[in-house]
Each structure stands twice: as C-alpha cells, then as structure tokens.
Amino acid sequence: MNDLSQETKARFIQHCPVGCAAPLLPTAIRLPEGELLCCAECRQWISQASRQRYGDSMREFDTEQGTAPDAASLQRRHALAAQRIERLARLAGREPRTLRLLDVGCSSGAFLEAARTLQVPARGVEPAPAAAAGARAKGLDVVTGTLDQAAFEPGSFDAVTLFEVIEHLQDPLSLAHDVFRVLRPGGVWLVGTANAASWTAALMGARWQYLQIESHGGHVSFFNPGSIATLAARSGFTVERIDTRNVRAFERGQAPSSVYTLAKLGTELLSPLARAAGRGHDMLAWLRKPEATQAG
C-alpha cells in the first residue's frame, strides 16, 4: 500500500478539535465509520470518518443551490435570521444598517439574503466554489475561500456568524483565532451548531440524523455547551450566552406514523424544559471579543 492511500484512509480528526491534550475515548454510539469518540476533557464527540470519506461527503454538497432553504421554510428562516441579526446589532451596539457583518461558510447566501432585506452591509466567505458562485449570482458580496484565505483587514467586522460550519472542521481553534482577528474589539461572534449533550442525542444516539455523514456531508465534530465555551476561552472570547432549543425522539420514517406523531407531541412539550436546562439540540453560542485585548 502506498503512502497516499494510507493517508486518505487515516482518520480525518486525530486529536480533540477544541485543543485538549486529553485522550479520545470510544462512546456507545456506533456509526458506519466506527464508534463515535469522546474527548475525556471537554466531551467533544468526534467521528472516525477517514480523510477520503470526509472529502467525498463534502463534495456531494457543493452545488450552486448550496444549503438554500426550500420555498416553504424560506419565510420562517428569514424571520429567524432577522431576529438573530437584530440581536447581534444590539450586542455590538450598532443599528442593523451600520452592522458590518461577515457570514463565514455562507454557502449560497440564504442568511446574507435575509441580511440584505434589513439593509445590513453584510459580506460572506465560502470555500465551496459552486455555492459561492451561486451566492454572487444573487448579487451578494461573497469571497470564495476560507476565512484565512480571504485576508480581511484586522478588526473589519462588528459581527461574525458561523452557521452549521464548525461541526465540519478539523481545526476549529484555528478558525476561532481567524474570527478573533477580523472582529473589532467588542465585536460579537455567533456560532450555530447542534448540541451533543442534548436530550435528542441521549434519546436517539446513532439514529440522530445530525451524526450521519451520508445525510449531513462533512459532519465530524460535535460540540456541547462546555466544549464551545472551552473553544471560546482558548481563542480569547468571552461567552455572552449559550442557548439551546428543541427535542426530538425519532427522525421521520424511523417509527410508525402514529408513534412518530405522539413522540413529536411529547418532545414539543419537553422543549421548554430542554431550553431551560441547556439540553436542546439546536445550539447558538453568542461570544464576544473583549474590548481591551492584547494584539490579536
């Protein structure tokens, strides 16, 4: 076997992506790539997907359409995006119209389109070339590449958003340092990802679709509120707050429709409790670059 094939078969993530020196221990959750691993220090879950599997699963999702929502959910998504932008503006002490916003991993620009309706001067950066081209075709200001490659001036943004991206990264700590650099002091970083310490993860385990690389290309690293806070601390950010919401017991099709419907009702009732306990599966971390910092 040559070196190249050895390399593509190697596990994509070798060490805790949050930067812990602790060992990665097997969990009871068995995926097609092997058991999920768990960092003994921050409890981050890590997939055993190979470089090859990871690369293939990411390419499947690079289309011009990108992660654009379907028409039915578009209105709901826009309303949610508007809420988030208004909160970011408040936290950053700006009016939305003057909020210098950067969406990292913007795909074909669904969030940026919502920002445009609020007249936010927003930009995007996206490494997948077809998705980035799709965003530019809509007249959005999007650079193809990683945040590092985009080489924005230090301190050029009041707010940075990162939705459904951090669970794809081999080295999120390095991205966190890049975000820190492009934010002005006092600027806000919003990270959206799933919560591996959620009741949904506990109820569903390997059935949870979020963990499946074949339905969610490139998902290999699963955060919890503690590991996000650790990542923030290690890159110079303070935590404003970490919100979680939603509980699910079955994916559609995993149970007879009557059971699915009952379970859906039950988990909707649990949702406010999950939110209060920090055990929902949708997680938003609101992080801040401190006002007085050393050069970053």
- The interface region with Zn ion, picked from 18-26, 73-81, 187-195, 282-290 by CB under 5 A, is 18-26
By C-alpha distance, which of 90, 169, 160 is closest to 125?
160
Contact 124, 159 (CB under 8 A): no
CB of 149 to Zn ion, least distance (A): 27
* From candidates 11, 12, 13, 16, binder to Zn ion by CB under 5 A: 16
- DSSP H or E run through 269: helix 257-277
- DSSP H or E run through 256: none
CB of 161 to Zn ion, least distance (A): 24
Contact 54, 12 (CB under 8 A): yes
Tallying the residues shown for the chain, one arrives at 296
> x/- string (CB under 5 A) for Zn ion, residues 35-74?
----x-xx-x------------------------------
- The interface region with Zn ion, picked from 11-19, 54-62, 209-217, 251-259 by CB under 5 A, is 11-19
- Between the alpha carbon of residue 221 and those of residues 77, 80, 244, the distances in Å are 24, 25, 18
CB of 46 to Zn ion, least distance (A): 9
Number of residues that bind Zn ion (CB under 5 A): 7
Nearer to Zn ion, 18 or 120 (CB): 18
* From candidates 20, 176, 231, 270, binder to Zn ion by CB under 5 A: 20
Contact 176, 229 (CB under 8 A): no
Q: What is the 3-state secondary structure (H, E, C) of 200-240?
A: HHHHHHHHCHHHCCCCCCCCCEECCHHHHHHHHHHCCCEEE
- DSSP H or E run through 1: none
CB of 16 to Zn ion, least distance (A): 3
Nearer to Zn ion, 36 or 143 (CB): 36
- The interface region with Zn ion, picked from 16-24, 158-166, 241-249, 282-290 by CB under 5 A, is 16-24
Nearer to Zn ion, 77 or 177 (CB): 177
Nearer to Zn ion, 108 or 230 (CB): 230
Nearer to Zn ion, 16 or 68 (CB): 16
CB of 93 to Zn ion, least distance (A): 33
Within 10 angstroms of residue 252's Cβ, the number of other Cβ atoms is 10
CB of 234 to Zn ion, least distance (A): 10
By C-alpha distance, which of 292, 166, 175 is closest to 238?
292
Only one residue has tokens 């890159």, namely 235
Only one residue has tokens 């503006």, namely 89
> Is residue 15 part of the contact set for Zn ion (CB under 5 A)?
no
Nearer to Zn ion, 37 or 42 (CB): 42
Only one residue has tokens 């768990």, namely 38
Q: Catalog residues that contact Zn ion under the rule CB under 5 A.
A: 16, 18, 20, 39, 41-42, 44
